[in-house]
Amino acid sequence: MSFLARIVRFLFWLLFVSWSVWLLRRLVGWLLRDVAAQASPSDAPPAAETAVAARRLVRDPVCGMHVDETLSVPVREGGELLHFCSHACRDAYAANVKKLAANG
């Protein structure tokens, strides 16, 4: 067999195997999607969507960074709850309360 014929044969089998794997992945994905749809009730929202919707972002008064409320460092200052992105920002705020209050 010539060298060119071997290359063509190799490319043919490579194309055939890759197409077969693609088709098998689509078939398995389709079957798993149907099984998952039957197992979960259709009227209940997925847990991932409710978890994303439940998150609330708060703004750090020192650096202006937005942080998830559950991950922030909360400090109660004069009846107001402030959220900081880190302990360093919290310490900077405590050191310069009057200066930061004037800057807004």
Q: 17: pLDDT confidence band, cut at 50, 70 and 90?
A: very high
82 contacts: CB under 8 Å, gap ≥ 6: 61, 74, 75, 76, 93
Tally the domains of the chain: 2
> For the chain, give me the number of helices (H) and strands (E)?
4, 4
Does residue 52 share a domain with residue 36?
no
pLDDT the model gives residue 51: 58
**H or E, element range at 3:** helix 3-39
Does residue 54 share a domain with residue 97?
yes
* Structural domain boundaries, residue 92: 47-103
8-state DSSP, 52: H
Does residue 65 share a domain with residue 53?
yes
Provide the mean pLDDT of the chain: 83
Give the three-class secondary structure for 77: strand
pLDDT in tens, 37-72: 777 655 555 565 555 556 889 999 889 899 998 889
Residue 28 has pLDDT above 70, yes or no: yes
**Phi, psi (deg, nearest 5) at residue 50:** -70, -35
Does residue 94 share a domain with residue 52?
yes
Indicate whether this model's pTM tops 0.75.
Answer: no
More confident residue, 35 or 77: 77
Q: Rounded to an integer, what distance in angstroms lies between the CA atom of residue 64 and that of residue 58? A: 9
Does residue 51 share a domain with residue 40?
no
More confident residue, 35 or 79: 79
Does residue 70 share a domain with residue 22?
no
Does residue 52 share a domain with residue 71?
yes
